[in-house]
Structure 1
Amino acid sequence: MIGTYGNPFQTSFLTNYTTNTSGTGSLMSTGVINVGQLVTQLMNAQSQPLTALQNQLSGIQTTLSAYGKLQGAVSSLQTAAQTLSNPSSFQAAQATVTGTGVAATVTGTPATANYSIGVSSIAQAQSVFSSPVSDPTALNMGTGTLTIQMGSLSGSTFTGSGSAINVSITSSNDSLNGIAAAINAAASGSVNASVVTDASGSRLVLSSANTGLSNAFSVTSTGASGTGLAGIAFNPASPSTSPSSAAMGESQAAADANFTVNGLALSSASNTVTSAIQGVTLNLTQPTPSGAPAQVAIGSNVTAITNSVVSFLQAYNNYVSINNSLTAYNSQSNTASVLTGDPTAMQTSNSLQAIMSSATTAGGSSSYSYLAQIGVSFNSDGSLALNTTQFQAALSANPSAVSAMFTQGGTGSSGGFAFQVANLATQLVGPNGAIGSAENSTNNQIANLNSQITTEKGMLAQIKQNLIAQYSQLNANLVQGQQTQASLYTQLAALP
């Protein structure tokens, strides 16, 4: 390529400028070539192939970016479809309670059913209190050791369980407040201690941290008889409602909750019952009126299921919006978008539309087949709209059929709409799928163009270097010629 600069074009180009020896913008001044300007103009012509490659690269990079947007939209649709195709999306349930004394919360996937819950008594935590003292800060209760034993109560029999908790009371903490603090430090999580003050004075109150007969406790004291510490004692097997100098009084006995579920008698150490109804947590708040048990109805959570379907449709519509913007054609301005007529975009759109507009046999011949039957319809731009009233009516009438329209369906079935879309989307964005393959091919084109551009830049750099050397040497020759010419003129002028 370097040799081409000796051709007639170069000679003519140089002759045109070497004859121009004055004036702004000329390539020669007093016969000397402006090498930088000359080389720049020569290189502009040589750089046209590089410019073409760079423009081609820019266009292909725009296409790759468009494929990335398309893949992102399909991937989001894939995630939403996979979520909805899981049968658990249609197993969302809710509990509706009529009556008092019971609250119910769905915590799993319970069966649709109705329950009658009668509560005769709620679970209680054991609570005991001491005789009052006038000053809870006075260090005069006496020293010794309090031993707290957790256990279970059955009738008048208390059976200890686990290790006893020993609380040391010394002259530094033998006030009522000090005893409460020492118990809380030693028996945290088992027994809670507090000081309650009223008109009669201050009392030490001990309460089990948990409800139920299995969370009762006893207290023994080694305090000397007649001291306040001696009265910090309690035997749940033989309780008294009034405190004395030798024992605390019981304000509330440990008790289990007693209730019925559809007439079946049950009990629980806690008022939060998780095992009576599978997938449902009952909270017992008070005894129910005689002959008026609370009614708990377990049914489909229509709102939650509707929201799941809406999320899927939103993901589909997001894909449609992005695809439409990438493939749009403006007939008035005769302007195409980056993927107008692109086979990958067309294949993706046609395949998804084919699924959503076809019938599904996932639910069997007696169930719904088309989305329009459950309130899902196409808009003019290809997006989907949901008639919530129609959808929820279909869901209430035949929840299993609606579920089958979106989930995997039975053996031999092609699956519901979400299941089919999830599978198609997985294929499309995979490395061998339509979008994945298009991206790979485009990346290969970009790599090839970058290689060509690098080569072309190297060639142009060498050409420029050679031109600078060539015309710099020519400049030197011109200067030498001018000097020789001037010398001759001088010699001639000196002749007689």
Structure 2
Amino acid sequence: MKAMSTNTVSALPTALAGLLKQYAAPSQKGDGTTAQTAANPAASPLSLGRDEAYSLSLGSTQSGSAMLGYTRLATLGAQVDGDLQAVATQAASPGSAGSVEVEVSRLAGVQTLVTSLFGDPDSVSLGTGTLTVQMGEMDGETGAFTALGEPAGIVIAGGSLNDIAQSINDSRIGLTAKVVESGGGFELEISGQDTGAAKAFALSGLAELDFDPSRPDTSPLTLTGEAADALYSIDGTEFVWPSNAGVPVAFGTTAAFSETGALSVPRSTLSETIRKMMASFNGLQQAIVEMTGDKGELAANANLAAGMFKRIGDAAMAEYPTGGDLSTLAGIGIGVEKDGALSIDQSILAEALGKDPASVQSLVAQAAKGMDDAIRPYLGSRGAISSQVTVLGSLLGRGSSLLDYLGGGSKATGGLAGGATSLLSALG
């Protein structure tokens, strides 16, 4: 996953982005030097963003909106807290989650062309000049060919089968060629290097090697293999994949296709546990983004929400000892997007589960606990959000503030500084 600058958080609301940058700033020490807060997001007994004095500057309208927002955030946080505790427990003792039943209708294929048979591969000449290759994509339903990218030219100096094969292979443009002995003669075989409908190709420039994938019957070459995606179905829903390897059939579960027909693919509960962890995390982060937006309940009082956003994000990006090669969620394909949500490369997850499931298990259990520990200071009757709601409630009870009378409350630009920069290093 590519790291991102701490100064580019344009995907986030202004109030939230500004506070995240402030929380990442180094704090001032007594001797005039600076020091970063410990990287452990649960290290401080106080909640990042807790600033009750700041809340006292809000007007009554802003206080009412913020009170609704933090009440909502407390409810959501409690739900996420329970979800993450369950994930940590489940990840610590994974088992079989049964299997995925797959029906394979078509294997992914490589486009392959062959010439007619010739008696001597070195004496026959199919012409010289420039062989133009146009890569493209085949439509499996209509048979139409769509060109992709610019055509490439291969200089054919010698016209024999062996000369042409060598020229194609030396060009390194995504095709392979070889002379094959077959039926008492020799033929030139030209193939794509990769499977998939988007790996088709057309040939032109030499009459004996012209080939249009949309009109194969008009070519002197014979099509013996088509560029095609694998076609398969799960529970009646059809899917395509450009390869027969690493085919996704469920979250974190891939399969390898070798033949058509029914296929039963085992899966682990761990992949489903990871999906639940990501869903809980993303639900919380997306809610905070919404509530701290211009029209959100916390637009004028985003301090605690921003602190919660950062701490759980830092926990998701922290390192955890597993006893194996894996130490971060990035190692199993999980990264942070520009809006703070988690995304996953399921092929990396599937590879990690196949290679070192014990380390994945340990990593997920620790990461889920780390995330839960990061938000827990904000929750419960003694948590920072509850205290914030109490302060806001008192503001509503006393009526308009002096700042209302003087011209309005403050904007959401204040808050406590400190905290690790690991989340911001991934936001862009």
Q: Bin the TM-score by the shorter chain.
A: 0.3 to 0.5
Give the TM-score of the pair, scaled to structure 2. Answer: 0.41
Q: Which has the larger radius of gyration?
A: 1
Structure with higher RCO (Cα < 8 A, 6+ apart)? 2
Query: Which has more helix, going by share of residues?
Result: 1
